[in-house]
Structure 1
């Protein structure tokens, strides 16, 4: 049965189908190229900074306040004492790790009153960008004579290693070199990574996750999606492993926070690390996503969500264990639904086909272009046809088979089993055992076997019934003969007999391994995992790898051809988890005919949703209601209202979570945390009428920290402003000079006016 939260989502989703009129700004731009590509347009939209103020290697700039948070989100420095702001859902895993039934920080929130109470998070990092460099020539050197793609890639990897070492030799920095435009260009990012990042504060989930799955990807939104961490450094303000002796990091720049808020038409900029987009896919690729991949993945995840939802409601222990997992599963599930809807609404497949027809005509008009690009579209068609049956099988292996936790756990023991079978040196075995012991400890902390058993039966049954028998792994033949295709009975047997169903069982397997005994190979969960993995390796991966290698070459040529054909167009590279800038303006939009959404939400909307009766997603703390009823907003409210969220026309994607929303003066005005559901297809095709990024208003963040949590000591270390102060010396100096000149000009005008008046009277 579909849960209440899922039914509520669909009710809202179907209501929001329609057309819109706003025109967002497309693109995720490289900071080092803003001067030549974007500065003029950004200033026309109202920006008062220069490209050098945003990205510079010669002086402090906005980039010095931006961090890659854990490699999966973005964060920003908001104090001179290393205070880092990101999303609640980005810090959720850390909050969960510190939560127990007795100290339920997920439900109650957490606020460190002193530095000593700030909680360390092993493995969590904060990475700053020191500088960027175009290294295309160095990386592509020697590739001209490569006979195969493999030879070319081998040369590129050697060059990357050489250039990286030369750039970081003698420093504590790292180098990241990534391909752009499908390998037509390469850029290097020199990075500095801090490894001591401590949890400082997080609101209760009833604020940080307010709206839950019902509101996910939707607007209007009322979520206080933020959390606070602090970056610590060792001697000389440099990165160091965790130590009680470490001191708060002193950043080169931290963002001042504006108390002036936002208005419609205001310039906005998103600075962060967007994860992955595929804006230049061909029509065949989009069609495969729309018709094959997304529908099946949506069904698999919905099945899993319904099972977990029921078990989480029945047990607080299960709820805490599966909170982060559920959120992660639901996030992609809902995104894929919106993505398919957006692809259809934008008529994306037909638009791609139109572009391909234009490209074909352009190629046909010139003999040299025919020689270079003549068979490109035919090759695309040939390779995507080769993926028939492969893509869907791969999706079921990843989402259904390895979507079962016990199967994924057992698969992680493959290397150890191989070492035991080969009678490898005991030192190698012991090293692998040690890794798995640490992994198993974390794994079983958030595991519930009865829930996984239900997921096992449901997901493997979907795999069995929805994939052609000719593409089944060998283990399914055994299920067919022994269990008559009944995966509930199969699940009963596996969970009764497998050591991987319990922490004690895994502990015993690892103890046997230290004695050289293989208790893994005949385990039923391992047999299942091995059968699926073997089938993938032997029947799916070869074709999938070959086709994608072919497609890499084809897309590189296609990208070069498009840029050659459309020389009047400014192209931006797909997101690849590197630092980017997106910009737009604060503006409303129309999701359906006759309905226009405002660009902002307030605390009143929180109270209205709380009164709607959907208690699980719209429950609120009593203190928040009390503050609302008293209108006790402090200096953070405006005109009797408490702003909560706003939307703008910035192009964002996953990885931009936690990115600062920066105004025309370089001040923090919000934190990006989502996109509207109408715009989730923007990873594949950009519909300018629909895309909006959703942010929590910085004033709501301050209100929750100060008035709700009583953590005013954290606000005191921030820089709150009501004027144009940017915190960048060069910008503030220009502003002061401009103010002086303006005052001088006004004084001169008054003086001249007085003289004219006296002369006239005389």
Structure 2
């Protein structure tokens, strides 16, 4: 079926959903869609005009920024940014040593001069322009192109669009797809390169409960921290320098200490990572039965190896703290997904929806072409899953940080033989600073002995995988696990200066090098390129077929009055909801607020349930001041809402009906994790830090008076 065969049943895509009522609080909406939801926003009590929310250049949307994996927001005119503690964890860990352990003890810069560099990989992205470029990406693509040819033509067009957009080097531009390749938008972001750590509470506040409480409710975690954006004296982004000055954001969020109560409306804005709401039942089963179980096994085994390799060495433990935290977070979420799939058969729900969709499609024009589309769809998805298994196995077999660095260096050398426009995305001139940052930051999270232990164990796990998962020609090139130590002894890539010195060197120089790790990377290149080219073939076919399928799905959903929003893809989105309790299972109801008294109840004096004495004293003495909730009689710590969130929403601003900051998103309940695949309004809840707890900790525990003075804080009116 061609795209045109559905013309009779489709409205122009730009107006799809214009008359659609949202259902419950589902939807991660592009800002331009918000006027379509005007009645819903008004119904729950949002007073900000939808047209204002749709304008990314005006307050409050122009205060919402991306950290490249997390979300954040400006809270002062001097570039002060608030986000989660776990989002700034890399910056905290980077500056920590056994002598100055800011992870354990927290950090507060009382003056601008005391603020610490967050690291070359910590950037702040301010979105200022979004434009639909679908025609420029897709128009005129020949139906006779192979998958790889189609993929490469699309990539060339995207690179051209990016090159045009990045004539001003202060900006970073991307062209992500929406609705699985049906639409493309070019997004321009001011990229701020000098970011500094301003304040982070101790880990016993910022990560209270640790991995045990991760994704759990009730929760009492102060997951917040502050960064600051710096620019050159001319106001333009600049490399880190003592001469730089704070970035003056056009707008910032006013902080409201007035608080929320059960049933109050909230808006949440940020950069959610990835959801899979429109995937087929077979794709759900593949994730449930193959991808996720293998990930859990790999992550669990890797954590065990790291724990054993760093045991008894405090410095090594600090080096790998961020790595362990990241793996643990992914592991807990993935296990939650598996538990969620066991608790509710989402695949069966999707089976029912899929059957209903196919019945609807059968009644539309061009039955034969529609049938051909569905058969084609099944075939390309099967190819995608088979290749994914081999790519996953390859990643396990080559999971050495040092080897990954060598592979990056050699691939860069090969790509630099081409004109810049013809280089693979990720290896163009625009990417050099990111490559250098990636190769540099290895210094903060690498110990040779630990890396060797992890790779050796991974190779042993790889050998146990089914033969069909092993990429052709790979096994013969891999080292024996017992030979790994010798490879590291014959490599200088562990030395940061020597590693960085290879950037810009030609491929011939690398071929002649006697560096053992680099030589292995060169040998592995053909296998890596084969997998990459096969991926382009599969992706090109997916990009040809899936949009046709999505076009039909959107028309079907529209005919039912159901919400039509694209899956999350790390672009700016808005969701809404209300403060709400939930019932995870029969006979159990969980309220929407936790309080500081819960911290005292949970505190054991041992990680992860230890608490600073200053915090416990303030609670016992009930020094609550203006942060006491009238109904609760104490300071609230975390609260729940029905907002639709996912990974990447960490640090997202939670705003009240007037657009004032009342909290930060940082997690979801364990029962909600499967919302990446299926939104269940009865149990889907996001977890937020209540701004009153954050302000209370800053005042009573850490005495961050300079920051409290810098922010604009609206306190509740005092009763006469």
TM-score by length of 1: 0.81
Q: Separation in 1 of the partners of 2:229 and 2:444?
A: 26
Q: How does 1:142-221 map to 2 (within 5 A)?
A: 142-143=140-141, 160=158, 173=171, 175-221=173-219
| Cα offset, 1:27, TM superposition | 0.7
The yes-or-no answer on 1:574 pairing with 2:567 is yes
| Cα offset, 1:166, TM superposition | 6.5
| Cα offset, 1:86, TM superposition | 0.7
Q: Separation in 2 of the partners of 1:508 and 1:179?
A: 33
Q: Separation in 1 of the partners of 2:554 and 2:416?
A: 54
1:111-144 deviation line (CA, Å, top 9, x unaligned):
1111111123334322222233334445544447
Q: Separation in 1 of the partners of 2:678 and 2:217?
A: 20
Question: Structure 1 residues 580 and 387, CA, compared in 2 at 3 Å: closer, same or farther?
Answer: closer
Q: Give the unaligned 5+ runs of structure 2.
A: 1-22, 418-428
Question: Structure 1 residues 376 and 350, CA, compared in 2 at 3 Å: closer, same or farther?
Answer: farther
Partner of 1:585: 578
Q: Which moved more, 1:152-161 or 1:349-358?
A: 152-161
CA contact (8 A) 2:63 2:252 kept: yes
Question: Structure 1 residues 413 and 135, CA, compared in 2 at 3 Å: closer, same or farther?
Answer: closer
Given the alignment, which residue of 672, 678, 682 partners 1:679? 672
| Cα offset, 1:360, TM superposition | 2.2
Partner of 1:559: 550
The yes-or-no answer on 1:404 pairing with 2:397 is no
Partner of 2:249: 251
Q: How does 1:384-423 map to 2 (within 5 A)?
A: 384-387=381-384, 389-398=386-395, 400-415=396-411
The yes-or-no answer on 1:629 pairing with 2:620 is yes
Q: How does 1:614-653 map to 2 (within 5 A)?
A: 615-639=606-630, 640-653=633-646
Secondary structure of residue in 1 paired with 2:251:
coil
CA contact (8 A) 1:457 1:490 kept: no
Q: Separation in 2 of the partners of 1:414 and 1:135?
A: 34
Partner of 2:495: 503
* Greater percentage in helix: 1
Q: Separation in 2 of the partners of 1:650 and 1:91?
A: 23
Q: How does 1:331-730 map to 2 (within 5 A)?
A: 331-366=329-364, 368-387=365-384, 389-398=386-395, 400-415=396-411, 442-468=441-467, 471=470, 476=475, 487=481, 489-495=482-488, 497-499=489-491, 502-503=494-495, 525-526=517-518, 529=521, 533-538=525-530, 540-567=531-558, 568-611=561-604, 615-639=606-630, 640-722=633-715
Secondary structure of residue in 2 paired with 1:47:
coil
Secondary structure of residue in 2 paired with 1:89:
coil
Q: Separation in 2 of the partners of 1:571 and 1:408?
A: 40
Q: Separation in 2 of the partners of 1:658 and 1:435?
A: 23
Given the alignment, which residue of 255, 260, 284 partners 1:262? 260
| Cα offset, 1:165, TM superposition | 6.6
Q: Separation in 1 of the partners of 2:548 and 2:97?
A: 54
Partner of 2:81: 84
Partner of 1:46: 45
CA contact (8 A) 1:224 1:701 kept: yes
Question: Structure 1 residues 372 and 127, CA, compared in 2 at 3 Å: closer, same or farther?
Answer: same
| Cα offset, 1:646, TM superposition | 0.8
Question: Structure 1 residues 162 and 44, CA, compared in 2 at 3 Å: closer, same or farther?
Answer: same
Given the alignment, which residue of 84, 92, 97 partners 1:95? 92
Q: Separation in 2 of the partners of 1:631 and 1:500?
A: 57
CA contact (8 A) 1:373 1:561 kept: no
1:251-278 deviation line (CA, Å, top 9, x unaligned):
2221111112121111111101112222
Question: Structure 1 residues 245 and 349, CA, compared in 2 at 3 Å: closer, same or farther?
Answer: same
The yes-or-no answer on 1:323 pairing with 2:321 is yes
Question: Structure 1 residues 536 and 189, CA, compared in 2 at 3 Å: closer, same or farther?
Answer: closer
1:152-202 deviation line (CA, Å, top 9, x unaligned):
666655665666677776795554433222232233333323222221111
CA contact (8 A) 1:420 1:517 kept: no
CA contact (8 A) 1:509 1:520 kept: no
| Cα offset, 1:645, TM superposition | 0.6
Partner of 2:240: 242
Partner of 1:297: 295
Secondary structure of residue in 1 paired with 2:648:
coil
Q: Separation in 1 of the partners of 2:232 and 2:288?
A: 50
Secondary structure of residue in 1 paired with 2:227:
strand
Secondary structure of residue in 2 paired with 1:193:
strand
| Cα offset, 1:93, TM superposition | 0.9
1:500-525 deviation line (CA, Å, top 9, x unaligned):
585399679969x8998768766554
Q: Which moved more, 1:375-384 or 1:95-104?
A: 375-384
Secondary structure of residue in 1 paired with 2:258:
coil
Q: Separation in 1 of the partners of 2:658 and 2:514?
A: 65
TM-score by length of 2: 0.85
Question: Structure 1 residues 411 and 147, CA, compared in 2 at 3 Å: closer, same or farther?
Answer: closer
CA contact (8 A) 1:401 1:532 kept: no
CA contact (8 A) 1:401 1:463 kept: yes
| Cα offset, 1:66, TM superposition | 0.8
Question: Structure 1 residues 412 and 682, CA, compared in 2 at 3 Å: closer, same or farther?
Answer: same
Partner of 2:10: none
Q: Which moved more, 1:314-323 or 1:146-155?
A: 146-155
Secondary structure of residue in 2 paired with 1:656:
coil
Q: Separation in 2 of the partners of 1:384 and 1:452?
A: 35
CA contact (8 A) 1:474 1:531 kept: no
The yes-or-no answer on 1:31 pairing with 2:31 is yes
1:419-472 deviation line (CA, Å, top 9, x unaligned):
999xxxxxxxxx999999986654244322222232222211111012327836
Partner of 2:304: 306
Q: Separation in 2 of the partners of 1:508 and 1:565?
A: 53
| Cα offset, 1:350, TM superposition | 1.6
CA contact (8 A) 1:24 1:689 kept: no
Q: Which moved more, 1:547-556 or 1:412-421?
A: 412-421
| Cα offset, 1:371, TM superposition | 4.2
CA contact (8 A) 1:55 1:61 kept: no
Q: What is the aligned residue count?
A: 678
Q: Separation in 1 of the partners of 2:317 and 2:93?
A: 11
| Cα offset, 1:636, TM superposition | 1.9
- Based on CA coordinates, which of the two structures has the bigger radius of gyration? 1
Partner of 1:75: 72
Partner of 1:731: none
Q: Give the unaligned 5+ runs of structure 1.
A: 1-22, 422-430, 725-762
Question: Structure 1 residues 390 and 616, CA, compared in 2 at 3 Å: closer, same or farther?
Answer: same
RMSD: 3.5
1:544-591 deviation line (CA, Å, top 9, x unaligned):
432332222221111001122232333101111111101111111112
Secondary structure of residue in 1 paired with 2:131:
strand
The yes-or-no answer on 1:113 pairing with 2:110 is yes
CA contact (8 A) 1:499 1:509 kept: no
CA contact (8 A) 2:698 2:704 kept: yes
Question: Structure 1 residues 178 and 420, CA, compared in 2 at 3 Å: closer, same or farther?
Answer: closer
Q: Separation in 1 of the partners of 2:141 and 2:506?
A: 47
Q: Separation in 2 of the partners of 1:249 and 1:381?
A: 50
Q: Separation in 1 of the partners of 2:141 and 2:176?
A: 16
Q: Which moved more, 1:579-588 or 1:126-135?
A: 126-135
Partner of 2:63: 65
CA contact (8 A) 2:362 2:370 kept: no
CA contact (8 A) 1:39 1:51 kept: yes
Q: Separation in 1 of the partners of 2:308 and 2:293?
A: 23
Q: Separation in 1 of the partners of 2:295 and 2:206?
A: 27
Question: Structure 1 residues 54 and 516, CA, compared in 2 at 3 Å: closer, same or farther?
Answer: closer
